[in-house]
C-alpha cells in the first residue's frame, strides 16, 4: 500500500507576519512597489500551480488505494462497511460519484485521467515555452477572452452549459513576457467558443478530443525580429499593404508572406544583418513546421489549375494582375491585398476557418478582394474597387480557377488575354482626341460610310459637362498625367489590362455623348472608293472635271489663320453649295468628300438648330466650334430655311437668316450646304459661297451606273442568296425606270427583305415587282399634279429649273 501524501498550505501566514509585510511596503519607495507586486503575483501563480500538481498527485494516489482495496476484497465474500477515514470517503470528497466506487474499470479510468493531467502539469511547469517562442491559447466567448498556457478542452457538465477551458490560466501576459525575455514571438491560437461544435458525450467531464483553433496569429516581441520582418517585407512589393499583416508586429495565419516568398527567401534574407537573419529563420521554421504541409497541398492544387474554398486566400499575391468577369465584360485590376471572407461564416465540417455565428446561412460563403484599375475623371487615376465571389461553403470541393468570377491573370485563357491587350492598346490611342469607327450594328445593313463614326475627346466632354464630379485627389501619386500621359506608349505592359471597358464618344447623328465599349472600337477605314463611285455630271467643255475640282478644294483648303481677308478670322472657311433635285447625289457627295479628306462628317439639320434666332446662332456657333476643334466637314443638309430671301413681312425668318449670315462670316473649316430650292436664296449668300455645284436630274446612263454601284455593294457585303448575274443582265431595263438615287436604294432594300421573307434568291423579278408597286404611287401623284412632274412644279414656283431626261 502506498503512503498518503500530506497536503501543505503554502499560503498559510500569520496575521502578525502580514502586518509586518504591509509596514515594509509603506516604507519602500513608490517606484519599487510595482516590481514587488509583480514578483508576488508571479510567486503566487507558481504556488498555485504547485498546489494543483500536488492535489492531483494525492488524488491519483488515493485512487490507487481504492483500487488495491477493491482487488484485495474481491477474494472475500463480504467486507465491512467503510469508515469515514477510508479511501472511499476520500474519493467522494475529490469529486468521484459514490455509486462509481465499486466499479473497478471506472476507477482505473479515473486513475489514468488524473495521472495524465498531473503529468501534463508537470511538463508544462518545466517547459512552458521554447527559448525562442511561446504559444498562448485564447478562448473567446460572449463574456470575456481568457488566456491559457495549455490547449483548451471541452468541460461537459450534465445539465449545465458546456465550457471550453484550459488547465493553466494566464492572468498577466505582460508580466509573463517580462520574466521570459528570451521569447522572440508569441503565437496566439484563438478558440471562438460560439463557432466550435460541442462534441456529443453522454458522461460529464473533460473531453480527450483535441479542440481545433479557429484562428492563429503571431505577435513579434523582439524589436530586432520586428525590424527584420519589416525589412524583409519591404523587399516584396505589395506585402506592406496586404491583409494579414497588421503593422510590423502582428502576422495573421496562414502567413502568406512566407508562402509567396519561399523561392526567394534565402536571397532576400542575405540582405539583412546576421542577427536579424537568425531571428527571422526561427520564425520561418515555426511557420513551415505548422503550415508546410498545407503549403504543399495548395501547390498541388494550383499546379492542376484548381482551388478549394478553404485555400482561396492563397490565390493572389499583393499587386498581382487579376481578371474579373468573362468575355466583353471582363476587366483587369491589380490586387491590393488578399482574399478575405466578408460574411465570416465558418466552413462546414471544418477544423480551421474564420470565426462566425451559428445563425447564418451555412450553404454559401462570400470572399472579397480589393484591387485598383485605371479610371477616367479629369485625368486617368487609380480607382480602388472591391471584387467578390460567392462559393459553396465546403472545404474540400475542388473548383477550376479559370471558371471563377475573379481569378489571377496567370489562370486566364489566351483568347481573353489577347482581348484585354487589344482593349488596352485601343484605349491608349483614344486617351486624347481620336475619330473612330464603332462596329455595333446589325450585319448587312446598307448604310453610308459615315455611319457609326464617333469622336472620342474626353477633355471636350468634361468641358461640356461641368457637373461631372472629380473622383481623385488632385496632385496625388495615383494619377497619370503630364509627360507619362503624352508618350506614344503606355507606362508599362500591365497598363493594357487595367483600362476601363468603356469611353465616352460623340455620335454625330444623334448629337449625344454615348458610352462606347472599347472592344467594339476600330480604326477608321476611309472609303476612298465612295468618291470614285460618285455619279456626277462632268463639264465636257472643260479640262477639269467636277470631281477633280472638288478634290482640289478639299485637299488644299486654306489653312486657318492664313485668310486673305483683311479682317482676322474672316474668310478662312471653305463653303460649298450643292443644289439640285432630291436624290441626285448631294448628300452622298458631302459624305464622299469627307472620306477623301479623311475628316469626320458633322451633319446638321434644321431640326437640330431650332427656329429662334438666338438659339440658331448659339447652336451654330457651338457646332462650328466643335467642327474646328475636331477638323470636321460640316454638312448643313436642306439649308433652305436659313438661306431664304428676307422680306418685310416675316421678321422672324429675317432674324434667323441674319444670324446664319453672321455665323457664316466667321466660319472656319469646310462647310457644305445642300438645297433643292435655290430660287429662294437671299442674295447675300451668293457672295459667301466659294463653289456652287448644280445636280441635274438623273439620265438613263447615270441611273444605269447607280444601279451597278448598288449591285456591286451587295457583292462586297458577300450577301447570300443573290443572283448577281441575273441582276447585271437586266441593268438596262432597271435604268429605264425614272428613279432617283435614293429611290433606287430603297427599291434594293425592300427587295432584299421581300426575298428573305420568302426564302428565295434575290433576282430581277423581285426588283421589277417592287418597282411596279412603287410606280403606282408615282402615277397617282402625277395625276394629282395634272400630269406635271415634280421638277416642272418646282420651276413654276421659281425654286429651280425642270430637267428633261
Write the DSSP string, 150-166.
S--EEEE-TTS--EEE-
Answer for the pair 436, 430: CB distance below 8 angstroms, yes or no: yes
Helices (H), 630-699: 640-643, 651-665, 683-686
State the pLDDT at residue 346: 45
For 321-356, the pLDDT digits (tens) are: 999 998 888 999 999 877 777 655 444 333 333 333
pLDDT recorded at residue 542: 47
Q: What are phi and psi of 385, to 5 degrees?
A: -130, 145
First CA to last CA distance, the chain = 139
Residue 667's pLDDT is 78
Is the CB of residue 366 less than 8 Å from the CB of residue 389?
yes
- Residues 766 and 750: their CA atoms lie apart, in Å, by 9
The residues of the chain scoring below 50 in pLDDT are 1-16, 18-19, 22-23, 25-31, 33, 65-95, 127-129, 241-248, 345-360, 443-450, 539-543, 558-561, 566
CATH superfamily, domain 528-695, is P-loop containing nucleotide triphosphate hydrolases (3.40.50.300)
Residue 800 per-residue DSSP state? S
* Cα torsion through 40, 44, 46, 47, rounded to 10: 130
DSSP structure class, residue 3: P
pLDDT at residue number 191: 93
Pair 195, 346: CB distance under 8 Å: yes
Q: Which three-class secondary structure state does DSSP give residue 240?
A: coil
Task: List the beta bridge partners of residue 448.
Answer: none
C-alpha cell at 799: 425654286
Residue indicated by cell numbers 436659313? 642
**CA-to-CA distance for 103 and 89, rounded, in angstroms?**
15
Q: What tens digit of pLDDT does each residue of 414-440 get?
A: 999 999 999 999 999 999 899 999 987
Give kind and range of the element (H or E) at residue 274: helix 274-303
Residue 479 has what pLDDT? 80
CA–CA separation, 676 vs 434, rounded Å? 34
From residue 237, give the alpha-carbon distance in Å to each of 228, 271, 697.
Answer: 16, 16, 73
Every domain of the chain and the residues it spans: 1-7+34-73+83-127, 222-303, 528-695, 700-796
pLDDT at position 637, please? 85
C-alpha cell of residue 592: 464622299
Task: Note the residue count of the chain.
Answer: 805
pLDDT at 198: 80
DSSP state of 298: H
Predicted confidence at residue 641, as pLDDT, reads 73
In 210-280, at which residue ranges do the beta strands (DSSP E only) sit?
215-220, 250-252
Res 58: pLDDT: 53
**Residues of 128-152 as b/e, b for ≥16 C-beta within 10 angstroms?**
bbeebbbbbbbbbeeeeebbbbbbb
What one-character DSSP code corresponds to residue 168? S
Alpha helical stretches, state H, 127-196: 173-178
SS3 content of the chain, % helix, strand, coil (to 5): 45, 20, 40
- d(CA 55, CA 322) in angstroms, rounded, equals 61
**Cell 519599487 belongs to residue:** 32
Looking at residue 104, what is its pLDDT?
A: 61
Amino acid at each position: 500500500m502506498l503512503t498518503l501524501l500530506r497536503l501543505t498550505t503554502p499560503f498559510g501566514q500569520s496575521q502578525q507576519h502580514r502586518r509586518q509585510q504591509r509596514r515594509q511596503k509603506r516604507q519602500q519607495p513608490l517606484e519599487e512597489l510595482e516590481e514587488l507586486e509583480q514578483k508576488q503575483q508571479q510567486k503566487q501563480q507558481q504556488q498555485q500551480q504547485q498546489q494543483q500538481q500536488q492535489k492531483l498527485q494525492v488524488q491519483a494516489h488515493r485512487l490507487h488505494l481504492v483500487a488495491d482495496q477493491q482487488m484485495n476484497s474481491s477474494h472475500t465474500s463480504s467486507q465491512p462497511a467503510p469508515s469515514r477515514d477510508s479511501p472511499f470517503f476520500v474519493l467522494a470528497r475529490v469529486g468521484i460519484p459514490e455509486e462509481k466506487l465499486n466499479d473497478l474499470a471506472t476507477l482505473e479510468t479515473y486513475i489514468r485521467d488524473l495521472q495524465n493531467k498531473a503529468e501534463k502539469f508537470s511538463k508544462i511547469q518545466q517547459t512552458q515555452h521554447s527559448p525562442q517562442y511561446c504559444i498562448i491559447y485564447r478562448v473567446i466567448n460572449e463574456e470575456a477572452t481568457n488566456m491559457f498556457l495549455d490547449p483548451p478542452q471541452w468541460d461537459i457538465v450534465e445539465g449545465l452549459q458546456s465550457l471550453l477551458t484550459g488547465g493553466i490560466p494566464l492572468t498577466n501576459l505582460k508580466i509573463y513576457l517580462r520574466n521570459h525575455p528570451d521569447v522572440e514571438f508569441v503565437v496566439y491560437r484563438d478558440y471562438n467558443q460560439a463557432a466550435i461544435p460541442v462534441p456529443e458525450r453522454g458522461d460529464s467531464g473533460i473531453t480527450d478530443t483535441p479542440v481545433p483553433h479557429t484562428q492563429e496569429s503571431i505577435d513579434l516581441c523582439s524589436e530586432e525580429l520586428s525590424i527584420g520582418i519589416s525589412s524583409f517585407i519591404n523587399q516584396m512589393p505589395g506585402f506592406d499593404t496586404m491583409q494579414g499583416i497588421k503593422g510590423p508586429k502582428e502576422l495573421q495565419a496562414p502567413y502568406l508572406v512566407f508562402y509567396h516568398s519561399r523561392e526567394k527567401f534565402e536571397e532576400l534574407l542575405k540582405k539583412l544583418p546576421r542577427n536579424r537573419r537568425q531571428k527571422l529563420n526561427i520564425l520561418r521554421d515555426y511557420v513551415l513546421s505548422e503550415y508546410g504541409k498545407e503549403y504543399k497541398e495548395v501547390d498541388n492544387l494550383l499546379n492542376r489549375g484548381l482551388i478549394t474554398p478553404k485555400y482561396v486566400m492563397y490565390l493572389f499575391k499583393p499587386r498581382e494582375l487579376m481578371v474579373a468577369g468573362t468575355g466583353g465584360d471582363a476587366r483587369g485590376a491589380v490586387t491590393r491585398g488578399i482574399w478575405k471572407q466578408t460574411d465570416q461564416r465558418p466552413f462546414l465540417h471544418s477544423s480551421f476557418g474564420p470565426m462566425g455565428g451559428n445563425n447564418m446561412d451555412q450553404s454559401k460563403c462570400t470572399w472579397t478582394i480589393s484591387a485598383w484599375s485605371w479610371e477616367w475623371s479629369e485625368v486617368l487615376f487609380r480607382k480602388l474597387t472591391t471584387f467578390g465571389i460567392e462559393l459553396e461553403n465546403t472545404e474540400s470541393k475542388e473548383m477550376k480557377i479559370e471558371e471563377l468570377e475573379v481569378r489571377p491573370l496567370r489562370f486566364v485563357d489566351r483568347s481573353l488575354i489577347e482581348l484585354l491587350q487589344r482593349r488596352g492598346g485601343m484605349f491608349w490611342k483614344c486617351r486624347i482626341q481620336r475619330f473612330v469607327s464603332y462596329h455595333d450594328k446589325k450585319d448587312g445593313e446598307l448604310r453610308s460610310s459615315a455611319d457609326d463614326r464617333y469622336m472620342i475627346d474626353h477633355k471636350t466632354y468634361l468641358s461640356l459637362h461641368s457637373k461631372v464630379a472629380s473622383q481623385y485627389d488632385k496632385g496625388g501619386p495615383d494619377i497619370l498625367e503630364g509627360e507619362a500621359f503624352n508618350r506614344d506608349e503606355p507606362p508599362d505592359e500591365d497598363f493594357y489590362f487595367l483600362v476601363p471597358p468603356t469611353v465616352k464618344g460623340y455620335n454625330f447623328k444623334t448629337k449625344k455623348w454615348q458610352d462606347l465599349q472599347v472592344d467594339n472600337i476600330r480604326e477608321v477605314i476611309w472609303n476612298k472608293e465612295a468618291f470614285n463611285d460618285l455619279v456626277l455630271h462632268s463639264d465636257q467643255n472643260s479640262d477639269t472635271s467636277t470631281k477633280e475640282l472638288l478634290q482640289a478644294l478639299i485637299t488644299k483648303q486654306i489653312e486657318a489663320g492664313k485668310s486673305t481677308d483683311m479682317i482676322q478670322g474672316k474668310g478662312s472657311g471653305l463653303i460649298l453649295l450643292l443644289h439640285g433635285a432630291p436624290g441626285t447625289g448631294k448628300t452622298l457627295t458631302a459624305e464622299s468628300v469627307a472620306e477623301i479628306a479623311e475628316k469626320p462628317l458633322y451633319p446638321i439639320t434644321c431640326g437640330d438648330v431650332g427656329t429662334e434666332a438666338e438659339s440658331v446662332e448659339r447652336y451654330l456657333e457651338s457646332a462650328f466650334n466643335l467642327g474646328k476643334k475636331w477638323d470636321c466637314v460640316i454638312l448643313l443638309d436642306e439649308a433652305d430655311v436659313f438661306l431664304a430671301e428676307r422680306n418685310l413681312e416675316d421678321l422672324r425668318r429675317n432674324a434667323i437668316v441674319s444670324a446664319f449670315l453672321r455665323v457664316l462670316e466667321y466660319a472656319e473649316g469646310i462647310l457644305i450646304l445642300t438645297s433643292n430650292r435655290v430660287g429662294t436664296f437671299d442674295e447675300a449668300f451668293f457672295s459667301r459661297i466659294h463653289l456652287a455645284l448644280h445636280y441635274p436630274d438623273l439620265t438613263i446612263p447615270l441611273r444605269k451606273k447607280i444601279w451597278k454601284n448598288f449591285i456591286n455593294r451587295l457583292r462586297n457585303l458577300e450577301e447570300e442568296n443573290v443572283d448577281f448575274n441575273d441582276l447585271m443582265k437586266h441593268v438596262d431595263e432597271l435604268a429605264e425606270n425614272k428613279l432617283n438615287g435614293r429611290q433606287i436604294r430603297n427599291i434594293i432594300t425592300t427587295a432584299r427583305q421581300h426575298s428573305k421573307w420568302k426564302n428565295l434568291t434575290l433576282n430581277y423579278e423581285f426588283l421589277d415587282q417592287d418597282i411596279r408597286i412603287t410606280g403606282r404611287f408615282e402615277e397617282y401623284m402625277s395625276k394629282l399634279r395634272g400630269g406635271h412632274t415634280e421638277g416642272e412644279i418646282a420651276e413654276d414656283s421659281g425654286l429651280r429649273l425642270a430637267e428633261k431626261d
